[in-house]
Amino acid sequence: MNKVIAFAGKGGVGKTTVAALVVRYLAARGKTPILAVDADPNSNLGETMGLDVPTTIGEIRETYMKNPQGVPSGMDKVNYLQTLIEQALIERPAFDLLVMGRQEGQGCYCMVNNILNSFTDKLTSHYAYTVVDNEAGMEHLSRRTSGKVDMLFLVTDYSLRGLRAVRRINQMIPGLKLDIKNIGIIVTRGPQQLSDAFLAEVAEIGLPVAGVVPHDPALLEFDMERRSLLDLPENALSVQAIERIMGEYCPK
């Protein structure tokens, strides 16, 4: 059965980095196949994993909407859109990547969205794990999937501003059509001992801290050299932190 691990948080807190490291963790332990979904309009997940993204679901949707009559002869629109999605899927031995891309423009997208949503839901059933990198509003989870999430990580950097964004996201969740089994907070670039002020804010939110990913010089080095985070060594501080977190929170 497919397990869904999702991430949400405000921009710049390291959410995409954490999502890539979780893909690395799952792949390294043979928890495959994995579907990585980049559902943040500021699509960077592929870049962190050293992948070029030829097209996105958003681009497919916009291309179709500009010319709905452009379906090839002998093919209906459902099969046509499904074929385009399959072509947008970036395949690797341990995981595949699907990039959602930009949000909708003007006009009614109901029909095309229903087709896209139905196909992506069927697609996830072929994977052991789906790892979803979301925007703060979690639109992809609430509108583009069945809404089932086994583990939702709300990611913040070591700042009260980032943590308050986590609070807002958590307050928004009851109004979304989501079935979330577990929620936890991941703190990035944090010290080994979180401050009393930070922990007091966490207590008010009412969610557990799943773990802390410390400042890791290897992350900056790999970014500057445009290297995939999937190639980080096992002794990297960030890799070890994700191993501890996933060892406890990874849905079995």
Output the pLDDT for position 61.
82
Q: Which residue has the tokens 């930009």?
A: 102
Per the structure, the count of domains in the chain is: 1
Other CB atoms within 10 Å distance of the CB of residue 174: 7
Distance, in Å, from the CA atom of 121 to the CA atom of 125, rounded to the nearest integer, reads 7
Identify the domain containing residue 39 by its residue range.
3-249
For 135, the token pair is 């925007």
Return the closest-CA partner of residue 129 out of 8, 7, 250. 250
Output the pLDDT for position 45.
94
Distance, in Å, from the CA atom of 137 to the CA atom of 9, rounded to the nearest integer, reads 8
CATH number at 137 reads 3.40.50.300
- What is the secondary structure of the chain as a DSSP string? --EEEEEE--TTSSHHHHHHHHHHHHHHTT---EEEEEE-SS--HHHHTT------HHHHHHHHHH-TT-PPTT--HHHHHHHHHHHHPEE-SSEEEEE--S---SS--HHHHHHHHHHHHHHHTT-SEEEEEE-TT-HHHHHSS--EEEEEEEEEESSHHHHHHHHHHHHHGGGS--EEEEEEEEEES--SS--HHHHHHHHHHT--EEEEE---HHHHHHHHTT--GGG--TTSHHHHHHHHHHHHHS--
For 59, the token pair is 């681009």
Output the pLDDT for position 100.
83
User: What tens-digit pLDDT sequence spans the chain (252 residues)?
Assistant: 789 999 999 888 999 999 999 999 999 999 999 999 998 878 899 999 999 998 888 888 888 888 888 888 888 888 888 888 888 899 999 999 999 877 655 555 566 666 667 777 788 888 999 999 987 767 666 554 557 899 999 999 999 999 999 999 999 888 887 889 999 999 999 998 999 999 999 999 999 999 999 999 999 999 999 999 999 999 999 999 999 999 998 877
